[in-house]
Amino acid sequence: MVRSNPTLVTAMRLLDQLHFNGQLFLRHRVRTVLLLLAVGLGVASVIMLTSLGEGARRYVDREFSALGNQLLIVLPGRKETTGGAPPIYGAAPRDLTLEDAQALERLPAIRAVAPVIAGTAPVTRGSRSREVIVLGSTAAIFQVRKMDVAQGKILPERADSEALAVCVLGSKLKRELFGNRRAIGEWVRAGDRRMRVIGVLEERGESLGLDLRDMIIVPVRTAEQMFNSPGLFRVLLELDANADFDRVEERVRGVIRERHEGEDDVTLISQDSMLAAFNNILTTLTLAIAAIAAISLLVAGILIMNISLISVSQRRREIGLLKALGGSSRQVRQLFLGESLLLVSLGSVAGVAVAWVAVLVVARLWPAFPLAPPWWSVPAAVGTALLSGLVFSLIPARRAAALDPVLAMRGQDL
């Protein structure tokens, strides 16, 4: 007596079903193409939309990494960062002054201190004028913000003590005012002051929401007089590579309390806390986008159910013949479920391929934005598609399995 191998039997049954389904798909080409299109578009939309969210997260991470990982920001006003977007302005009863920043320079473990005064003013040369951001700071701002000049030189060391009439232009501002002509040594008017151009920043994009191409950097004392305000917008601290952030924060607060009559009226934000806040926001946004895109897969599942119900109605005689030849209700149910899952699988493969090609093309055309799908997007999209296909195929499969073979061969439901 020859005993059959169960694995071999299962494999042969699977091959038989695949062959049967293949013939069925070829016989109903229009229906098959519509189902593949619905599932493929749903899977592709999930992957591509989540790629946008992941690209935004990577973009922010890259921008922060460009500043180094030892950055501590001091803002005027008492406001702790406990989540969400970091504060931009504080509400301080006492200004954070340039003298405060100079006191912080004496602390150990602080490599550089860049006080910042920010405002806007028209910058004019001849008949050309442009309203831009004016950043008042010292030579340390170039080290702390990892900026460099493409032409000329940075602000002199005396910029923290003298209101010098010099400036450094952003690359775009230079092009708008001077075109292709050399700007170094020329004069421009920023607000009500004439300044000599001593440098032009190298080409950079936006950093922390500031367009480095379209701005002007002037000495901090000059900015004090331009905006008639001794208060600083913020102070940027660059710490030593092995500095203990907690200890440095406590020392900074101690210096400020000593200078502000015992008041702890500043907010300290580390680069890690800002990055974590943005990561949380963008991750939540990406998940929300994925959930919205997954609705298209539910719609595809409903389409599969409707077309499968029509298919059951059209194939009554075929089902009746199958059961008359000995096929069980369980085998009929498995036949329809397998057909739906095979269609969903093929549609998912097509959707993944289309999404990857689209992401690669967009990434090639827009290299500044690091577009890439998150690791979980493909399994999540394919898993949702398979689950949707399985759930919405149950009703047609059960209806087919419940058909009476005699009535079904006559073309009747009951």
Of the chain, the percentage scoring pLDDT greater than 90 comes to 18
For β-strands 166-169 and 193-201, DSSP reports them as parallel
pLDDT value for 393:
86
Residue 5: pLDDT band (50, 70, 90) is low
pLDDT value for 411:
65
CB 374 within 8 A of CB 286: yes
Residue 66: pLDDT band (50, 70, 90) is low
Query: Who contacts 45 (Cβ-Cβ below 8 Å, separation ≥6)?
Result: 293, 296
167: enclosing H helix or E strand: strand 166-169
Mind listing the pLDDT tens digit for each residue in 361-378?
988 888 878 888 888 889
How far, in Å, CA of 93 to CA of 23, rounded? 80
pLDDT value for 349:
92
Between the two ends of the chain, the Cα-to-Cα distance in Å is 43
Residue 382 has pLDDT above 70, yes or no: yes
Please count the other Cβ atoms lying within 10 Å of the Cβ belonging to residue 80.
10
Mean pLDDT, the chain, as a whole number?
83
User: Which residue type does 409 have?
Assistant: M
pLDDT value for 115:
92
Mind listing the pLDDT tens digit for each residue in 326-360?
778 888 888 888 888 888 899 999 999 999 999 99
CA angle 386, 388, 392 (to 5 degrees): 120
How far, in Å, CA of 281 to CA of 286, rounded? 9
Residue 316: pLDDT band (50, 70, 90) is confident
Mind listing the pLDDT tens digit for each residue in 201-236?
988 766 666 778 889 999 999 998 898 877 888 899
Mean pLDDT of 236-259: 87
Residue 289 has pLDDT above 70, yes or no: yes
What are the distances in angstroms from CA 171 to CA 209, 217, 224, 321? Answer: 17, 12, 24, 79
pLDDT value for 412:
63
Contacts by 18-26, CB closer than 8 A, 24 or more apart? 18/342, 20/335, 21/338, 21/339, 21/342, 24/339, 25/343
pLDDT value for 89:
47
Contacts by 241-247, CB closer than 8 A, 24 or more apart? 241/70, 243/70, 243/109, 243/110, 244/109, 245/72, 245/270, 245/272, 247/109
Residue 296 has pLDDT above 50, yes or no: yes
Q: Which residue(s) pair with 136 in the sheet?
A: 117, 218
pTM for the model:
0.61
pLDDT value for 78:
67
pLDDT value for 186:
92
**Read out DSSP for 322-375?**
HHHTT--HHHHHHHHHHHHHHHHHHHHHHHHHHHHHHHHHHHHH-TTS-----T
What are the distances in angstroms from CA 303 to CA 14, 349, 378? Answer: 25, 18, 22
Per the structure block, which two tokens stand in for 321?
Answer: 């013949």
Weakest mean pLDDT among 66-80, 161-175, 238-252? 66-80
Residue 8: pLDDT band (50, 70, 90) is low
How far, in Å, CA of 303 to CA of 326, rounded? 31
Q: Does residue 314 or residue 86 have the better pLDDT?
A: 314
